[in-house]
Structure 1
Amino acid sequence: MKRTLCCLLFFLITANSRAASGGYADQGGRLNKSTAHADRKEGTLDGNRISTLFYNYGSIGDWTNRRVESGVYPKGANGHSYFAEFTPVIGAEVVDRLNQRRHIFSDGASSSGVADGRPTGGFYAFEPLPGYADENQPYIAISDALDDNQDGKPDSWPWRWPDKKNWYDPATGIPYWNGQYGAFIRADQETYYRMNDYYNDEFKFLPSKTDSTIRGLGLEIAVRGYQWAHPAAEDLIIWTYWVTNNSTTDYAKMVFGMYGDADVGDDGDQKDDDAYFNKTEDIVYQWDHDNKGAWGGPPAYFGFRYLESPGDPLNGKDDDEDGLVDESQADGIDNDGDWNPTLDDVGLDGLAPGMSGYPGPDSDGSEGNGRPDADYVLGVAEPNFEMSDNSESDQLGLTSFTAAAYPGIVMDNDESVWLQTIPGNFSEIGQTVDLTFLYATAYFQMPPLGDPNNQRKFAIALVMGEDYDDLLRNAKTMQKIYDADYNFAKPPEKPTVTAVAGDHQVTLYWDKRAEELTRDPIYGKDFEGYMIFRSTDAGFTESYVITNAYGNKIFDKPIAQFDKLDSLEGPHPIGLDGLQLNMGSNTGLRYTWTDTSVQNGQTYYYAVCSYDQGYDEDFYSRGISEIPNLLPITPSVCAKRIRTNVLGEVIALDINTVKAVPNAPAAGYVAPTILSTLVTNPTIRHAQGAGTGYIEVAPLDPMKIIDQTEYSILFDDTTFAKTSNPHTLFSVLNNTVQKKRLIADTTAVALGHTHLYRPSVLVKDAATGAVMQNGVDYIIREEIGAIAAVPGGAMQSGAAYEISYQYFPVYASPYIAGEEMNPFFDGHKIVVVDHPLAPDTLRNSLTRAGWFRGNALKQAAEQYKVPYDAGRAVCNYAGNISTYIAGGVKTPVPFDYHVVVFDQTVTKAYNNKPANFLVFNATTGDSVKFVFQDVNPAGVLSDQDIIVPLLNIGGRYRGTWQVKFWAPEDSLVLDITTRTWVDTLGIPHIERDTTVVATIPRAIHPKAGDVFNLSITKPFTAGDRFTFTSHAPYIDRQKAGSDSAMNRIAVVPNPYVVTAAWEPQHVFKSGRGERKIDFIHLPAQCTIKIFTVRGHLVATIEHDSLIDDGSESWNLLSKDGMEIAYGVYIYHVDAPGIGSKIGKFGVIK
């Protein structure tokens, strides 16, 4: 068992684009020495309920200097800061150039009074290495960074990782995540950067004999942060530090430590903190003495744990007492024998088949070779081997712990730090003070560059708990994560969500990436459904109300939920601290939802979170899971993240979170309508083909609709005659020709759209107009929408070309059974309903099977030249249509047939029966042979007769469909007589007698001119094509200027009494905070003037909005920036060319 003494304080697309265009530029030559402050960046980890600022020079938090909330818990507007700063502290004993014994430490501290400041400015500290984040933006690389600039790469990532330049998608040039365990994201949120101590020139010591510019100890540190959103792990952050000795010095006495300054109770209440060291649980925890924070409420418990200590594989001892001496993560040996070839032989990129981004087997041959592999230069290994296996380290454990009231531990005195970290130094913890801590492991040897043992690792964890017991439960989860090599159940990918605000409603819609890209590293494809959360604050505190058995809040209550149709519903069988997650009620998956319980003018935040199935022992046998014999676990729900600044203002939304303010549209707004094939005058035109299904295109996001754009709907089927069409796909083609000017490259260049229509692609030399040839001069990647020049072809890299093309916004969708599962496009959603090859009982009376009547009969009579009498009754025989079967063989065909009745025998059937009718193929217009089963051999169509149209297949006629006619039964006229009598016992009796007195015929027999429509529903095939034209919303100026429209203009609330429900949370220390009223139902452009009742102008507001928003807010400040007085105010709205409105509102303070 490891002796890890732990401390918890309560605490492309263009693969080689030019740098000028924001693309990849090789920075490999800059890695020897960083550019110090010029490369400093910041980041925020907020992947679960803890949110904290951190820097790429080692510091976690910055309350002292910038007064920025650090270690906020719970995340959001109602959270509070729990620490000022944490930083790794790393040092060694050396002999300098003056032959003096020195102790040199570097750290990332920046707090005044603690940091080791340089007299000339700056610090004797770690500095970041360049290239590990995009240099054109200020943030550290975060695994779930957004792609706001739409270049295909998450904005904070570099185009190429300096230490793993080949980790990118060769098809697109987009980099993979630089993960410790492979080219994938292991936690729900990760960060990665590197720093070194090369600028720490406080002492006259040169660590490298080959480079005199390197100072400090010549150490380079790879830093990673991990967060998980699973309810069991949502209250912790783990940080790992891989330290490499890049010097030529062999250090005999190394010290790795961590400094922390926790302030439980937030700023202003940090001087009454207590702490305690629990040796049984290896925990030091910190809490507020009077359980009252600076805000007046009870604070949480805050923890920091020294989770993993550095190992020493060189001292000949079993330091961690696990029975193995000097196990190492760099000896090429699977020390503990836990590498499993079935599960772990995935190659050095860590990507296995079925994982998102899997590019195929590793090119270096490491995947599936039957042996564990590691690359000590890249610092990667297969699972459960070397640096990917925490248990392959002979950990020393915690050897010192110092606690002191702030500022009792400072970094500007290296000798003092050395004394505080001497092994065996465990100080007493002072109580009811502003506590700071320093934890360390010492001493151990660290060989120089070139030695396989020149790397060491340590890890710490920040953990929160609502109370002491909650903290201990979270600590146990943390230990499980460590034991699993920082692996934990991973929720599905986040869906990409869009919000459409309307009048008293908000519509959300999202994609299917959570289903398509999800494969848990342990539990496989385990996606289950979506939960929707809503709140009026960005921290979702309103939905965070579900508690566990201990009364601790642990989960959000969804406002809506959609899950797969399977056997998993209701409470999950595996609970977490007495809480069982509701898995849904088998609603079926949906991708749109409209919230109609909203108030206009109120800001709402929504999150659509995907969740997985969890696992129980019978999930494999029940068909829920694809993998047997896994450890039971509660379900995981993906994170929801909205970033705010210190004022509570939203500065960034994650892909699955949105902000919406419902309001009425501008006056005169005309919404787009649903397009359909079903209406009398179809707005979706059937340009060609015989398919009888229907299509509906509905506006989903009106402001994204491109006006007057023509689209085609095309089909691709793989079979001809079948009763259903499970393999038919459909695509939507945007018929507008897209044009783009580009600079050619032999690496793929993105065109801005995917799924190009190859026949439409035309590439010309921009200078000469010469047409380039596909496959000769360029290669087009239709599926990803990219083009690359062919080396040696006429298309030259660096030259300009003009390309035109069409594309499919919906491509090869299989959803043709009415499912609302098709991709959304250009503000539309499309529903396609295919029909089976079967008798038509589905459509309207003009097209479905039966005898023609009215105008349809008149048209048929004209076509077949038979008599038509509008006044006579049409035959009322029922026609029972079915597939004809001969010898067990069916030959259904996608043809309609017309049976046309004449007044005499006009032909003989194929079976030589005379017939007074002909059968026509209504689809082709040709007459066809048929079999006539004449029950009453009279040569005329009558009751119970059967007609079988034939089709010549390979020179042989085969029956297709058959129709059997049934005449309605005659009606009977009955005479019912009643007789009442009493028996001898006095009991009355009633007798009835029924007599048939007449028969009334009901059958109307076929006559000349009657036409029976043997109608068949037909599946869509490649021969079907539909077209439609989009119509964007617009303003009807006449409607906008009408008296009724202008009279709807109003102020809400009216009167304004003290506050309004939609005003944001007040986050200021003093003052009133933001106030506002809304003018509603405004024209899209107008001027609002506000006056006192005496006519003095108070404020002027220019309203200029999109047509879907007819509201304008006013902050109740005058044109001079002063708060207005209470009273009555007059407003005047003037919309040139439309009209004006005068009204009044009141303000009551």
Structure 2
Amino acid sequence: MFLTFIFVPLLVSSIYGQGKPYEGPDDPAGDIAAKREGRMRGNRVLLYFKNTTELAYWPNFDCSKWPNDATGTGMIDGVALLIGAKVYIKNGSIPVTDPDEIRTHGNLDTLYYVQTSYRQGMDTNSAGTVEWGLYPVFGYFNENSEYPAMSNRPESWPPDGWPSRGGELKWPGEWDGRFGRGVIYADQECYFVANDAQDQEYLGIDDRVKYYPRPGVKIGDKRPDVTIQKGLPWGGIGIRVKVRGYQWNNPQSRDAIFWEYDISNISDYDLTEVAFGYWLDNGIGHRGDSCDQDDIGFFDKYEDMAYSWDIDGVGAGGLRTGILGFAFLESPGIPTDGIDNDDDGLIDEKRDNQATRIVGPYDGIADLQKFLDWYSLAEEDLKQHWDADEDQDWQDGNDVNGNGVYDEDEDPGDDVGLDGVGPGELNYYGPDEGECNHKPDFLEGYGCEPNFAFTDISESDMLGLTSFHLFEHPNPGDIPFMRHDKECWELFALPALVEFTGQVTNLIETFGSGVFPLYKGRTERISMSELHSYEELAGLMSSEHSAPALFQKKRIVQVIYESDYRFVRPPKMPTLKAIPGDGKVILTWDDVADKLTREPMLKGINDFEGYKLYKATDKYFADAEVLVDMYGNPIGKKPIFQCDLKDGKKGAAEFALINGEAFYLGNDTGIQHYFVDEDVENGRTYYYGLVAYDYGIEGLEVNIMPAENNLVIELDEEENIRYTGKNVQIVTPYQQAAGYIPPSIKMEDKTSLVGNLEVIPQILDLNSVKPNNTYKVTFSVDTVGHLRPMAQFRSKYDLLYVNNGFSVYNITEGDSLVYQETPDKFPMDNLLYDIRGEYWYFNENLTSDPFEGLQITIHSLKNTAEFDPERSGWIVGDAPIQVVPSTEESKYFPWQYEIVFTGEDSVYVSRVTSTKSIKNADNLLVDENVLLGQAFNFYVINKSFPDSNGSYEKLDLVVEDVNNSGEFELSEDNILVGHTFKFGNNIYWGGTVFVINFRDAVALNRMPKPNDVYRVDFKRPFIETDSLVFTVYPAVEMAKEKLKSSLDNIKVVPNPYIATNAMEPAVSNPFLNQRRRLMFTHIPANCTIKIFTASGVFVDEIKVDNPPDKGIVHWDMLTKEGLEIAPGIYIYHIRSGKTGEEKLGKFAVVK
């Protein structure tokens, strides 16, 4: 947007009377008791704010910071919203709002107002106890919360619902989003409302001229328990300010924060001359109460963006400073002056008019070419549209079957009703008012459909930025601070562009847009973005003041703004759990991101792609922040684990780069929901952050990089943790406590199972297991085929099959299903797909996702069943016979067999009556060389399937006449073992399972003896009737004998202590000291530790009351008086609180 100066001091009378009753919420007067503080930290920009509209607050530590990690520095000392107005009064208290009367009346009084909230320079009462400015309103946050309403903190939302129209409430339990019920596009949003009712300037007893914006309304009328100025008249100019802050963590937008202000005139009068603006106090490189006297800045007229930087690029603590950009975005509009203020080809468009009729493609367009250029349209894009949709971007839905509702397979477009939620959204409960009426709808105070009215930034005839000043910070309270209303008004309201030409110093920037009328009941808007980048100082100090990275980020800021603050959002945030172990940390997470992600910019499809797990030893994840762009600037974290969908989207997302770097999408590994980190040290604290990410969007005007969740750890000024996001865990692995025996698992007898794959249930999370619960594992079976394709011509045991899933049931809790894997849903590559056979099957080694604190590992097959040499061999006997499975046909009969030898020569005689289709072990037909009707002194049984009497079916035996002698010669011939089937009166060969030859046994005269048994077994999948049962047994929290033997394992780490150690948490604030730590290991969970000097002087006592399994405790190395201990030798005494067992030891502190 080009800089445009428009000054309208007096409006023509033809536009007089544009006001209307205010139809939004009937708020009480703002109250200091409603004041709440928050921090926006939804990306790399940290910004402290109050719900008074004030942003940042020097000299608070970390009132602003970029980047929000250990390398970041302060950027802003304060930002004030400026709302200025001139009010004309006659006869001491009668407002004059008629432009003709204002222009012609020669004896009017003029009152100047600048409404704001700021740390200094405010108007106050005579006692200085009450600032006369903007105060927050009750009703827009949970009064029991210390935070304003934050989108990522449901506990901060008003429990009974959000203020709507008048005294009505709406949408309890859901976010009151800019676009509707529960609609959250940003990674983090905040939302609050303030008003100027407490401003009593010009309403004092001694004031000759007074202005009552809401005559007859007093502070406390709506909320009698107001804590300040109760009973005084509603003051100020009668404005209501609705504020939203937005942050996106997408790599392209994570260095920017947006603020949007809806400013309404809720008074009884039109305000004829109004201006909106900002006061920005630069603070580049500051830290706490350090000053910033070396800043310099520049203003870019084309981008409406000021940017400033530290002259030497060095901030507090010697840290490198970035630059601060401040982009002026949305401005108020004048919808009644007959001028195309924003040069978009439309005149006097507005955002609060109702749609009444459909008009032609060219209707409402004053300058066609400007319109097409501004909205990037071709003439053929023009269409019939509703009259109030001046920019023609509202999209009707397609009710294909004409039933008056949008079904799941129909596109609702923007016709989603007043709640902003349409079919396909997770919180869609059915049609609401306005949905599927094929008309854009808007109801002030309640809701609005997308791309229309209040949700559409383009539906306003915006003035643009009309004023900018960059100047040295004045002395506190001096002109032009806000208490000097007239001078401050003239600074930001009157058209001017004044760049700074002095020396480097502490700078103030003011931005303004005006002058315009704000009619009674009407709302206008202003918005801005704070953004940051690293730049080369040489370029900044050149005549071009080049900042290429910042301007690239401004491009994305503009995209977000022009998309009505609808930008790509990352997948649903997963919930991470961390379980400390001995030398390991077990991390698990839910599947919310996989299942419930929806991307509005892709018409609601699930664009989830994968997970990344980050790990650090500091609260800012500095360990992980190792990725850099082509300029060497930090650009991201490196995960310790990543998994992604097997969907072909892998490698670098090169369609969207940031300074030459692409987002890595993964390598088609498959998804899992756990990770075990064994690269840890007991006693050291680790910080883990899990993010879900999508695959980005290619093909837009600006390609969008994949987006991932943000990691939030909120710290106070002492760097103590106040809050963490649900995808962050802080964990310290530890040795088990002395005397502790963990929970265990016992498997029930598995001998009755047909399948024999190795299934290993194991305990993953000690805190989540359910002691004394019994579980059952069943298996899904898929038939791949049969050796004999026709059922009447095959053995009933002829089956080639695989397992393609399994289920786990909690028997104790009524056989409830607690876990399942199927071809439709499985982690990682637990299931594989055979393209030729078109079937799914178990991978060779698979591990389940966690469930109820447990996990199952299955050691499976390469594909289908196969011979198992380890399970095969002599059970009784040792004769050197050879048993060779059929290379092809055995897999169709993968059962357990036993060859039983007897003393009877004819214990078994061949039964098959046909030699057709008999093959040897090499899968060659031998039907011409088969001898039938032979007698044997052994038989073969199928042990896998006993009948109802417990008996086993015998397999048939035939002889392969190897030397074609026509006689059965044990020293020469092979014996084929196989299944048969009966057809008619004949018995046919169903398939060869294995072949036996006795050549070596005959030659060595070591033939099998009677009662010898040889087993032939296969690795085979489970069948549908198999069920594996196991039970979880509880932990033994205190085993006395184990405790007694474990006390000798107690250690002090490090010993000796020298200066510091890795367990001590890092601090980023150079003004804070690192906290000391010494660790006792293998201690009882409940015990007392007393520490003495070598001479016996008592130093400190530690009372340990750990969880039953935790066997460590840290000591802060302070005496009981809170003093640091001196170097020397120390004695410790440990006494178990359960058994009284004791242990003495010593340790040294060198420095």
Alignment deviations for residues 745-783 of structure 1 (CA, whole Å, 9 cap, x no partner): xxxxxxxxxxxxxxx6xxxxxxxxxxxxxxxxxxxxxxx
Q: CA deviation at 1:116?
A: 4.9
Match of 2:256 among 212, 230, 236: 236
Alignment partners' CA distance in 2, 1:80 and 1:956: 93
Alignment partners' CA distance in 2, 1:1012 and 1:669: 43
Alignment deviations for residues 446-503 of structure 1 (CA, whole Å, 9 cap, x no partner): 3333xxxx22221111112223523333222212221222233333233222223334
Native 8 Å contact 1:874 1:1010 kept in 2: no
Alignment partners' CA distance in 2, 1:478 and 1:691: 60
1:543 aligns with 624
Closer, same or farther in 2 for the Cα pair 1:597/1:474, shift >3 Å? same
Closer, same or farther in 2 for the Cα pair 1:113/1:958, shift >3 Å? farther
Alignment deviations for residues 600-658 of structure 1 (CA, whole Å, 9 cap, x no partner): 333221212223323556xxxxxxxxxxx886433323211111111111121112212
2:380 aligns with none
Q: CA deviation at 1:1081?
A: 2.5
Alignment deviations for residues 994-1038 of structure 1 (CA, whole Å, 9 cap, x no partner): xxxxx9599989999978878794545377463422443644332
Alignment of 1:48-127 (within 5 A): 48-64=43-59, 67-95=60-88, 98-99=93-94, 101-103=109-111, 105=113, 107-114=115-122, 116=124, 119=127, 121-127=129-135
Alignment of 1:133-532 (within 5 A): 133-145=141-153, 154=155, 156=157, 158-163=159-164, 174-176=173-175, 178-180=177-179, 183-203=182-202, 204-208=210-214, 211=217, 214-266=234-286, 267-331=289-353, 332=355, 333-341=388-396, 344-345=413-414, 347-348=416-417, 349-351=419-421, 355=425, 357-359=426-428, 361-364=430-433, 366=435, 371-382=439-450, 384-404=451-471, 405-406=473-474, 407=476, 408-429=479-500, 431-449=503-521, 454-467=522-535, 468=540, 469=547, 470-523=549-602, 524-532=605-613
Alignment partners' CA distance in 2, 1:910 and 1:365: 81
What letter is aligned with 1:216?
Answer: G
Alignment partners' CA distance in 1, 2:200 and 2:601: 47
Give TM-score, length-normalised by structure 1. 0.75
Alignment deviations for residues 804-833 of structure 1 (CA, whole Å, 9 cap, x no partner): xx8554367754736867442333223457
Alignment partners' CA distance in 1, 2:869 and 2:160: 56
Q: CA deviation at 1:1040?
A: 2.7
Q: CA deviation at 1:224?
A: 1.0
Closer, same or farther in 2 for the Cα pair 1:936/1:586, shift >3 Å? closer
Q: Secondary structure of the residue that 1:295 maps to in structure 2?
A: helix
1:782 aligns with none
What letter is aligned with 2:727?
Answer: N
Closer, same or farther in 2 for the Cα pair 1:1007/1:1094, shift >3 Å? closer
Deviates more, 1:319-328 or 1:428-437: 428-437
Q: Secondary structure of the residue that 1:92 maps to in structure 2?
A: strand
Native 8 Å contact 1:1087 1:1135 kept in 2: yes
Q: CA deviation at 1:556?
A: 1.8
Closer, same or farther in 2 for the Cα pair 1:233/1:1060, shift >3 Å? same
What letter is aligned with 2:509?
Answer: F
Q: CA deviation at 1:690?
A: 5.5
Closer, same or farther in 2 for the Cα pair 1:340/1:718, shift >3 Å? farther
Check if 1:830 corresponds to 2:856. Answer: yes
Native 8 Å contact 1:905 1:939 kept in 2: no
2:720 aligns with 649
Native 8 Å contact 1:197 1:215 kept in 2: yes
Alignment partners' CA distance in 2, 1:835 and 1:951: 32
Alignment of 1:953-964 (within 5 A): 962-964=991-993
Alignment deviations for residues 700-756 of structure 1 (CA, whole Å, 9 cap, x no partner): 2224334333334456889999965787552432625xxxxxxxxxxxxxxxxxxxx
Q: CA deviation at 1:275?
A: 2.4
Native 8 Å contact 2:85 2:114 kept in 1: no
Alignment partners' CA distance in 1, 2:178 and 2:47: 21
Native 8 Å contact 2:781 2:801 kept in 1: no
2:883 aligns with 876
Closer, same or farther in 2 for the Cα pair 1:311/1:1019, shift >3 Å? farther
Closer, same or farther in 2 for the Cα pair 1:893/1:223, shift >3 Å? farther
Check if 1:584 corresponds to 2:583. Answer: no
Native 8 Å contact 2:784 2:800 kept in 1: no
Alignment partners' CA distance in 2, 1:312 and 1:690: 81
Check if 1:1040 corresponds to 2:1043. Answer: yes
Match of 1:596 among 666, 673, 678: 678
Native 8 Å contact 2:145 2:155 kept in 1: no
Check if 1:32 corresponds to 2:34. Answer: no
Structure 1, unaligned stretches of length 5 or more?
A: 7-27, 146-152, 618-628, 676-681, 737-759, 761-805, 847-851, 856-869, 885-891, 973-998
Q: Secondary structure of the residue that 2:658 maps to in structure 1?
A: coil
Deviates more, 1:455-464 or 1:284-293: 284-293
Closer, same or farther in 2 for the Cα pair 1:231/1:961, shift >3 Å? farther
Alignment partners' CA distance in 2, 1:807 and 1:161: 39
2:1092 aligns with 1091
Give TM-score, length-normalised by structure 2. 0.75
2:694 aligns with 612
Q: CA deviation at 1:311?
A: 1.9
Closer, same or farther in 2 for the Cα pair 1:400/1:692, shift >3 Å? same
1:1100 aligns with 1101
Aligned length in residues: 966
Check if 1:1060 corresponds to 2:1115. Answer: no
Alignment partners' CA distance in 2, 1:601 and 1:729: 38
Alignment partners' CA distance in 1, 2:1132 and 2:707: 53
Q: CA deviation at 1:520?
A: 2.5
Alignment partners' CA distance in 1, 2:777 and 2:1082: 38
Native 8 Å contact 1:688 1:1025 kept in 2: no
Match of 1:701 among 760, 765, 775: 765
Alignment partners' CA distance in 1, 2:804 and 2:650: 30
Closer, same or farther in 2 for the Cα pair 1:726/1:457, shift >3 Å? farther
Closer, same or farther in 2 for the Cα pair 1:1022/1:241, shift >3 Å? farther
Alignment partners' CA distance in 2, 1:415 and 1:206: 19
Q: CA deviation at 1:240?
A: 0.7
Q: CA deviation at 1:397?
A: 0.6
Match of 1:636 among 689, 692, 707: 707
Q: CA deviation at 1:111?
A: 0.8
Closer, same or farther in 2 for the Cα pair 1:610/1:1033, shift >3 Å? farther
Q: Secondary structure of the residue that 1:1038 maps to in structure 2?
A: helix
Alignment of 1:706-725 (within 5 A): 706-713=770-777
Deviates more, 1:415-424 or 1:629-638: 629-638
Structure 2, unaligned stretches of length 5 or more?
A: 7-22, 95-107, 203-209, 220-233, 356-387, 397-410, 541-546, 786-798, 831-841, 916-931
Q: CA deviation at 1:319?
A: 0.5
